[in-house]
Every structure is written in C-alpha cells, then in structure tokens.
Amino acid sequence: MSLNARLIKESFALVEPVAGRASAYFYGLLFAHRPSLRGMFPPDMAAPRGRLFDVLRRVVRELDSPEGLTSYLAGLGRDQRRYGFSPEHHTAAGAALLATMRRFAARIWTEETEAAWSEAYAMASRIMIDAAAAETTPPWWLAEVTGHEARCRDIAVLTLRPSQRMDFVPGQHVPVQTARWPRVWRRFSIANAPRADGTLRLHVRAVPGGWVSSALVRHTRPGDQLLLGPPAGTMAPPESDRDLLCVAGGTGLAPIKAVMEHVIASGRRPNIHLLFGVRHAGDLYDMPDLTRLAAGFPWLRVLPVVSDDPAYQGLRGRLPDVVDAFPSWTGHEVYVCGPPPMVDATVRRLRRSGVPLARIHRDADPERDRDRSDPTETAGTPDRFLAGFESKT
C-alpha cells in the first residue's frame, strides 16, 4: 500500500476542527446526488455525522500501520452489510468525501492532495467491498425475544433466539435494532458464553432519552422480534491460566459474565475475583445468577460493591478505590467494563500498581462507547425486517 499519508494527514488536520460542518456538508451532498440513500439513515442524523469522523480519525491514525488499517476497514466492510451498502454506494460516498475534503481543506488543497485522497479512498473501499463480499455469515439476524426479566427499575435481562446460528467470542457485542425505532442501531454486549441452544442474553439499562434501550426495557415482550447485526469487539477470554480479576460497573457486567462463563466451562480452575460495582444496593440486578454461578464454581468470589449508599452494610466505595485497596493484582489477568470514566480510572490505578497493560482487557472500541451514550447510532434497515414489522403492527 503506497499512500501519500503526509498529504492526507495535513489536509485532515484542517478539516477535523470543523468536523460538524464538514460531515453535515458530506451528507448533504450525498443525499442531494443520491436521494434514495436518505431512506437508509435514521431521522436524526446527529449520530451518523459523528460516526463519519470517528471512522475517518481512526483511518487517518492507522495510515502508518497497514495491517491495522486493513483489518479495521475489513471489519467495517463486513459490518456495513447490515445497512445494505453496495459497491455503488461506496462510489457515491467517495465522491462526496472528496468534495468535502476539497472544500474544507481548500487553503492547502493541490492536485497531489486530490490524488492522495482519491487513491486512499479507492484502496479503502476496495478492502471494504472485498471483505463484505467474502463474508459468509448473514449480514443480520432476526431474533425472537424468548425471555424478558425486569430485574430492577431500569434494567431488564433479555433472552434472544436468533433465527440462524450466530458465532461470537465471549466479550463481544452486537448491534440491536427494535421495530419501534427502524434504522436506529445500538450495541449491547452479549452476556453469556455460546450456548448449545444458540440463545443470547443482553443486560439492558433504560438510559434517559435512550430510544433503543428504553424500547428494550419497557416496550419489549417475549415473542417480539429484534434485528441483530454481526457480533464485533476485540475483548476475548484469556489464553493464560492466570487468576482473574473482573471489575464490572453496572451493566458493564454483561461481557465480563460471558468471559467468566467461558473460563468456567473450559474446565480451567483459576481463582476469579469479581468486583460488581453499582451505585445503590437496588441496582445489584444479577446477584441471584452470580451467586448460583459461584455455588457451582468454588474458585469464583463475587464481591458486590455499592458506591452511593452510606446505609449499605456491605463493601462500599468507588470501584477504582476498591480495586486499589487489595494488596496486589500484578499476577492476574484483569477485565474491566462499565462507564468509561470508571474504566479509565480503574485501568490507571492498576497500571500504577504494576499490572502490565497487556494483561488488562477492556472493551476498547471508542465507537462502541459513543453508541452507549448516544443511542441513535447510524443507519440502515433491511427492507424485509421493516416489511415484517409493518405487517405485524
């Protein structure tokens, strides 16, 4: 791959500070030239606009590491299948992207810059298109809700049965779409290791203003159908036999539970310490299940931790402080999931206490974190799902 990375970076550095205006311009152009594409996006374009620059930032950052770039773009191409993106759409998006860069980096734009972006986009779209074409798994799955348990005021645990087999690695997440909010996807971690019956569990907190999470917690019942995109995410169970420290903040428990289930099912016998942190005792939404898991695996120790309730009789405090209060975790593999500030603070403390970075596992996909706080993720719905829903309601 021989790209003029310098010219791309220089021009991108001019456009990035005006990302909001540039992405509005990009989508404006795209829809003006291809009005039919508008129907693939949600009514509120804020999230797709934000995501455009998340992707560009990541691509520009990875320009100097061809392997990382190729793997990222291939993943993107495979994921885009759920929106129904075709090679033709890539051509239209490429023209809009070039026009956007040309306009917002006009001050330093030259023929060489134009050629650099043009080559880079051709290369990137080729990788995405080829990866999408080579993928043999479905672009999306219909899944029936077979269980819906309201665990506390805002949290429900859903059990789903995909209509076709879905392979995933414990620790990964899936994009979810409800019929209530067509074309709006939101990612949730899968909360179990793969099961013989193919079912998946999701732990969902209804966040204020969260379209998909509220629909899943308050308006979804057994028998309803959801749409799932391909599982993604790089967090995976440990390969070593080291003991495990798991630090879960709220519904950040989900991927950690999947990893723990996998380790327990593997027949290994590491000691597992789970610190499950919530704000109020009433938020300890999964304790009966965790207690059952610990009863069947004596090497698992579950420690509920409550941060915002002075009357709580058990372990109290914020997770980063509680982690720090133990003698040493330097010999452990560590998994940390939950609110990003909690994860960052916990990782900092662990690093300071000598735990090597390579042994700290977190869900490090920044796009995923944004999906969490902004549920209106980008675009697209297979028509069959909408048709099915419309005929159902």
Distance of closest approach, residue 261 Cβ to ligand NAI, in angstroms: 15
Residue 195 near ligand NAI by CB under 6 A: no
Distance CA 22, CA 101 (A): 8
Residue 259 near ligand NAI by CB under 6 A: no
3-state secondary structure (DSSP) of residue 247: strand
Residue 205 near ligand NAI by CB under 6 A: yes
Contact pattern for ligand NAI over residues 158 through 177, marking x by CB under 6 A: --------------------
Distance of closest approach, residue 92 Cβ to ligand NAI, in angstroms: 33
Q: At what angle do helices 66-80 and 46-61 cross, to 10 degrees?
A: 150
DSSP string, 334-382: EEEESSHHHHHHHHHHHHHTT--GGGEEE---HHHHHHHH---BPP---
Residue 101 is encoded by which pair of tokens?
């860069």
Contact pattern for ligand NAI over residues 39 through 78, marking x by CB under 6 A: ----------------------------------------
- Rank residues 152 and 294 by Cβ distance to ligand NAI and give the closer one: 152
Residue 320 near ligand NAI by CB under 6 A: yes
Residue 189 near ligand NAI by CB under 6 A: yes
3-state secondary structure (DSSP) of residue 280: coil
Distance of closest approach, residue 238 Cβ to ligand NAI, in angstroms: 16
Residue 249 near ligand NAI by CB under 6 A: yes
Distance of closest approach, residue 331 Cβ to ligand NAI, in angstroms: 24
Residue 217 is encoded by which pair of tokens?
């917690």
Distance of closest approach, residue 231 Cβ to ligand NAI, in angstroms: 12
Residue 210 near ligand NAI by CB under 6 A: no
Amino acid present at 4:
N
Question: CB of 285 within 8 A of CB of 155?
Answer: yes
The separation between CA 151 and the C-alpha centre of its own chain, rounded to angstroms, equals 23
- Rank residues 115 and 364 by Cβ distance to ligand NAI and give the closer one: 364
CB atoms within 10 A of CB 386: 15
Distance CA 323, CA 231 (A): 30
Q: Cβ-count burial of 213 within 10 angstroms (0-12 exposed, 13-18 middle, 19+ buried)? A: buried
How far is CA 176 from each of CA 7, 133, 140, 376, rounded to the nearest angstrom? 38, 22, 10, 11
Residue 14 is encoded by which pair of tokens?
């001019």
Residues 335-374 that bind ligand NAI (CB under 6 A): 337-339, 341-342, 345, 363, 372
Residue 254 near ligand NAI by CB under 6 A: yes
- Rank residues 29 and 302 by Cβ distance to ligand NAI and give the closer one: 302
Contacting range for ligand NAI; rule: CB under 6 A; set: 37-45, 83-91, 145-153, 249-257: 249-257
Contacting range for ligand NAI; rule: CB under 6 A; set: 58-66, 135-143, 247-255, 323-331: 247-255
Contacting range for ligand NAI; rule: CB under 6 A; set: 27-35, 123-131, 271-279, 293-301: 271-279
Residue 255 near ligand NAI by CB under 6 A: yes
Residues 74-113 that bind ligand NAI (CB under 6 A): none
Residue 393 is encoded by which pair of tokens?
């309601």
The residues binding ligand NAI (CB under 6 A) are: 189, 205, 249-252, 254-255, 277-279, 283, 307, 318-320, 337-339, 341-342, 345, 363, 372
